[in-house]
């Protein structure tokens, strides 16, 4: 496994600008998750995909946020009209489809740190 990769690792943007992050999951994993982590807190669930279908979205995911996974492989998370409160680490994780006792853990990427000035 090459692991989950995320790009960019760091992004500094001005308030009001749009930003897009990319996540490449572990190749055989058909589930992909996005989380947000602010300083001193644990990650908070944003959304997840089963292949290309987005199956659940958190209430944290306002209408300025959109996520896609068009071919069931990589995913993008876009934030429109960024606000200072969007500053956080955005984490991507992937997993196989749960089934049996050995397929439930999620594997995390290194994250994209967003700073909105």
Partner 1 sequence: AQSVAQPEDQVNVAEGNPLTVKCTYSVSGNPYLFWYVQYPNRGLQFLLKYITGDNLVKGSYGFEAEFNKSQTSFHLKKPSALVSDSALYFCAVSPEGSGGYNKLIFGAGTRLAVHP
By CB under 8 A, name the binding residues for partner 1. Answer: 4, 33, 35, 40-45, 48, 55-56, 58, 91, 93, 98, 101, 104-111
Nearer to partner 1, 14 or 27 (CB): 27
Nearer to partner 1, 80 or 113 (CB): 113
Q: How far is the CB of 99 from partner 1 (least distance, A)?
A: 9
Query: Which segments of the chain are extended strands (E)?
Result: 5-7, 10-13, 19-24, 31-37, 44-50, 53-57, 65-68, 75-79, 88-95, 107-108, 112-116
Nearer to partner 1, 29 or 82 (CB): 29
The sign of the CA dihedral 13, 22, 87, 17 is positive
């Amino acid at each position: 496994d090459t692991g989950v990769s995320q790009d960019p690792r760091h992004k500094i943007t001005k308030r009001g600008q749009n930003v897009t992050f990319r996540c490449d999951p572990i190749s055989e994993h058909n589930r992909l998750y996005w989380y947000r982590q602010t300083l001193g807190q644990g990650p908070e669930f944003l959304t997840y995909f089963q292949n290309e279908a987005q199956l659940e979205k958190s209430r944290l995911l306002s209408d300025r946020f959109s996520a896609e996974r068009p071919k069931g492989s990589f995913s993008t998370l876009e934030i429109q009209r960024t606000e200072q409160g969007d500053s956080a680490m955005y984490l991507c994780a992937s997993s196989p489809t749960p089934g049996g006792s050995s397929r439930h853990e999620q594997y995390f990427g290194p994250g994209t740190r967003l700073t909105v000035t």
